[in-house]
Amino acid sequence: MTTAAAISKSFGLGGDLEINRLGFGAMRIVGEGVWGEPKDPENSRKVLRRAVELGVNFIDTADAYGPDVSERLIGEALTPYRDGVMIATKGGLTRQGPGKWQPVGRPEYLTQQVEMSLRLLKLERLDLWQLHRIDPKTPVEESLGAIKELQQQGKIRHVGLSEVKVPEIEQARKVIDIVSVQNKYNIGDRAHEDVVEYCTKHDIAFIPWFPVAAGELARPGGKLDKVAKAHDATVSQLSLAWLLHHSPVILPIPGTSSIEHLEENIRSQDVSLSDDEWAEIEAAAK
């Protein structure tokens, strides 16, 4: 039996922004289908404030969540921002209704959206701006060219990508420095393992979305239910702790509209298991 190794709780994003690795995803604080206002906006603001109280200083959002609603709620709830709190946003996905998404990567559109994000988040600079999707109709060099200009103007600090494969990351890195990649990934869905390996090798943050598989992994009677009980943890906690353990560049951003789930998810930082125990858990998740 191996002993549990100490896991770093922080990560230096882009080499200069030290953040706590366990963040918060602000997609679940808006209306159904990531569309419109939430049923209880004050609850959304409370969840955001509680996350910061609990030490979260990395909050992920996007112009498309609502659209505009998640960024606006963050601006309302968290300003003036506590020192060290970093908001990561995204642009490049448009909305046509609940659950509908279309990429648009034209330079003039991305520029407008960066300006809108700054306004709603009440910021003068975006610490991390991520291209939500590469638009197949616009060369990525053109999309990122506009972002590079905004970076040179001081409106964006660091740039990341979302839902990309290794060759796309390499293509983008020829245009601009890429500090993060946000792809769908969790203990039960490891299709992007090669991207995790690439990011680990190049010290690029890997931000897994769907870290608790939208609650699916947490379903009672699911594959990890028994093993979580044996370790006195919930399945969500085990799934998040596994991500923290799996690579030092992984920054999980669990999303929730519930203070109870938020508090439970934050406690996953305290789950500490040996390599042998993690190997058993990975086998159970297959």
Active site residues: 65
Cα gap 46→97, rounded to integer Å: 26
Binding site for ligand NAP (CB under 6 A): 25-28, 60, 162-163, 182, 209-215, 218, 236, 253-258, 261, 264-265
Q: Which residue is nearest to ligand NAP (CB)?
A: 25
Query: Residue with structure tokens 């040996």?
Result: 274
Cα gap 262→96, rounded to integer Å: 30
Helix runs in the chain, H state only: 41-53, 69-78, 107-121, 140-152, 166-173, 193-202, 225-230, 235-246, 259-266, 275-285
Within a 13 Å sphere around the CA of 58, how many CA atoms are in the beta-carbon half? 23
Measured from the CB of residue 124, what is the shortest distance to ligand NAP in angstroms?
23
User: Smaller CB distance to ligand NAP: residue 65 or 278?
Assistant: 65
Measured from the CB of residue 103, what is the shortest distance to ligand NAP in angstroms?
10
Cross-strand pairs, 11? 19
User: Smaller CB distance to ligand NAP: residue 209 or 278?
Assistant: 209
Measured from the CB of residue 176, what is the shortest distance to ligand NAP in angstroms?
18
User: Smaller CB distance to ligand NAP: residue 102 or 274?
Assistant: 102
Measured from the CB of residue 256, what is the shortest distance to ligand NAP in angstroms?
3
SS3 call for 207: strand
User: Smaller CB distance to ligand NAP: residue 206 or 278?
Assistant: 206
Nearest-5° Cα angle at 50, 249 to 257:
80
